[in-house]
Amino acid sequence: MRYQIRAAQIDDLAEIIQLNRRTGLSEWSEESYREAVASKQFLLIVIELPEEEKNRIAGFAVATVIFTDLEILRLAVKPSWQRRGLGSVLLQHVLEWGKEQGCKRCLLEVNADNQAAIHLYKKYDFVELYRRKNYYSHPPGDALVMESRLHRVHAERTGRVPIR
């Protein structure tokens, strides 16, 4: 499978918003996506499959930096392309970007019933920090706040001991 990761552009927003809907992510306004494309405070990347005839965007991720925290705000892969490693590729990309920005840890919220995402995050060293009861309404559920220490991820990926 050939894929390309690139920064999203305004022209991609219709496809991204459609993907947002199809993957059951909580709603985000077009305005929020526009801001994520335009502002340097956000990373909005898409994974594109150049060999697809149309709807080439197979997934996307949105993240931002708050002081030394990288926060993942959105991550989704088109249902027909799930379980082929694309979610992992997007996540790794976001984590690398966070490290380049000098972030020390990554934080995210996930529905406590979302086993696919929780497995993915655990695979990348995320641990549960705490639970927010009845945080989501569509679908209802608790939120888990998860954290990953970025220097540790880096050390494991490169086999080097982090400099403290």
Ligand X SMILES: CC(C)(COP(=O)(O)OP(=O)(O)OC[C@H]1O[C@@H](n2cnc3c(N)ncnc32)[C@H](O)[C@@H]1OP(=O)(O)O)[C@@H](O)C(=O)NCCC(=O)NCCS
Q: Least distance from C-beta 134 to ligand X, angstroms?
A: 17
Residue closer to ligand X by CB (options 37, 118) is 118
Q: Least distance from C-beta 160 to ligand X, angstroms?
A: 24
In degrees, rounded to 5, the angle at the alpha carbon of residue 28 between the alpha carbons of residues 27 and 31 is 150
**Long-range contacts, 134-138 (Cβ 8 Å, 24+):** 135/109, 136/26, 136/111, 138/26, 138/27
Residue closer to ligand X by CB (options 40, 83) is 83
Q: Least distance from C-beta 47 to ligand X, angstroms?
A: 9
Alpha carbon distance 57, 162 (integer Å) = 35
Q: Which residues bind ligand X (CB under 6 A)?
A: 23-25, 75-77, 82-88, 110, 114-117, 119-120, 123
Residue closer to ligand X by CB (options 83, 164) is 83
